[in-house]
Structure 1
């Protein structure tokens, strides 16, 4: 798009800080830019960004194979493609817990046939701004998908074509274009606030549910919002009514969690990052 080139050329002067986060095979570099300067440059270039408040999109995705319907498992290529494109578009993608309540209200074998009212009612516990319901079916070595997007304006159907990954890119792009393009910034409930907690070693749904349950019972944690769950890693955002230091003290007493240091991070505040490794039983 016209205007972006001039903004990117000025990236070095906009850099405010950088941090390294160690990984098993190297490190991740995080770059932080001056938000006010960047917003000013975007405005001068005529580029309207989504702003600080973004639409939280809740995803219910069912995979049908050999006539059996199941909710998509972490690490599935379709889910990976959806999450990757959602990050590119800056669209927060939420996944349901799929606990007993979810399974009873929205069983996977009936999800696609359930009326909009039932989907919205069950999704209400996650407080999303929009809901994406998808159905994937494998036939003859190819994938066919169809999606329904529910937002404040109503329902929209998306039936992409092509290979699996491009289909998922199309779905995210259609959702992002609709949500970012037709609503005021302040209309969204999602705010990127709260402490980010990254946990490695969450390899299955049982570990996922155990961890989320543990955090919700931890003193000082007022809310837990899962953000990403893929490749054995879980990212959550915690809202606290205590200090980060007290939270760390509580988590350090939990034998199933092992702290992982983040190189380059100083004093933690309510918008900082903590990282742990799940050790299980």
Structure 2
């Protein structure tokens, strides 16, 4: 009798757990499109990833056809972050038939400027990028704070901020919008002047830069120095070198140009190329399958919703299923079309997912993350 009661109790527990998972799954489906993501200060969700706006002189067919090609190339750059795709044969072929990729288009008036607005077909854009041996960069991208110190012809240096009308700043903002890179520029108010000096930036004193940057709550920091190039090492007149810090990762690079304003566009292109190379995800049918992860410290029901939603937004993830949930820990199964290692890199970019023992992770071991919205 005692054994029978124990067995019944176990069955009841299993039934309750199954019911609990089923209920959570039901609410995930029901509320998935109703609840917005609230993830604190994680990477920014880039909107209109498959849309583009291009300035035009008029609404003639020739002008429209040229603008559609420009919008197409800009969209490929924004989605992939990879300049190399534009040189691929598949993209050159697609440029001859741009209209096949267009969902809709129209004209918009921005002050005195006429714009052609284009919406492209997402699956087709993704397919062209994958055919070009590249990948899709998730719409959730790190927001970067740009500290730029410029040295003019008289060797005088100054920090450039959001209120400056220098052409290099205008080009930086325009290029960032085109490429879907969330950026911030310092206010250069009294707080900044008390925290950071031109010397601190030029010498890249990391502790001072980190302290001054903390008020902007950005995901990463770029420090760039603009100056006249040495004719012995460059044929161009101007040079810009940069460093970028994003979490524990570091990048550096340099670009040159004949005119200083060109360096704003080139800086953004260089930065996005480095970032997307790490975080974009390609599709690989040979590696398609299922992959599981655990997420701990999901203390509230809404946390489960947000976690599931973030995972589903990753490129090459076609479906996410909650396998089990209990004691503030959830196990998710992801249906993926690429290498699991690429998915892990993309998850690492999102602040709510903190890897547990990342140095021990492998494709044969289920990754474990800690959920945190702080």
TM-score class normalised by the smaller sequence: 0.5 to 0.7
Task: Confirm or deny that 1:55 pairs with 2:145.
Answer: no
Cα distance, 1:179 vs. partner? 0.8
Higher-helix-fraction structure:
2
Determine which structure has more spread, i.e. the larger CA radius of gyration: 2
> Partner residue of 1:111?
201
> Partner residue of 2:157?
69
Task: Confirm or deny that 1:155 pairs with 2:253.
Answer: no
> Partner residue of 1:179?
275
- Specify whether residues 81 and 23 from structure 1 end up closer, same or farther in structure 2 by C-alpha distance, changes over 3 A only: closer
Q: Return the structure number with greater relative CO, CA threshold 8 A, min gap 6.
A: 1
Alignment check: 8 A CA contact 1:7 1:42 kept: no
Higher-strand-fraction structure:
1
> Partner residue of 1:133?
223
SS at match of 1:145: strand
Cα distance, 1:11 vs. partner? 3.5
SS at match of 1:49: coil
CA distance in 1, matches of 2:269, 2:229: 25
| Correspondence list, 1:19-58, <5 A | 19-44=106-131, 46-58=133-145
Task: Confirm or deny that 1:78 pairs with 2:173.
Answer: no
Task: Confirm or deny that 1:11 pairs with 2:98.
Answer: yes
Alignment check: 8 A CA contact 1:68 1:109 kept: no
> What TM-score does the superposition give when structure 2 sets the normalisation length?
0.43
- Specify whether residues 180 and 26 from structure 1 end up closer, same or farther in structure 2 by C-alpha distance, changes over 3 A only: closer
Runs of 5+ consecutive residues of structure 2 not aligned to the other structure: 1-86, 231-236, 280-344, 352-374
SS at match of 1:48: coil
- Specify whether residues 169 and 187 from structure 1 end up closer, same or farther in structure 2 by C-alpha distance, changes over 3 A only: same
Total equivalences in the alignment: 190
Cα distance, 1:128 vs. partner? 2.8
Cα distance, 1:26 vs. partner? 4.0
> Partner residue of 1:93?
183
Runs of 5+ consecutive residues of structure 1 not aligned to the other structure: 191-281
Superposed CA deviations along residues 59-115 of structure 1, whole A, max 9, x for unmatched, are 111223445432225331222333344445433332223233222212334322352
Cα distance, 1:30 vs. partner? 1.3
Cα distance, 1:31 vs. partner? 0.9
Cα distance, 1:32 vs. partner? 1.4
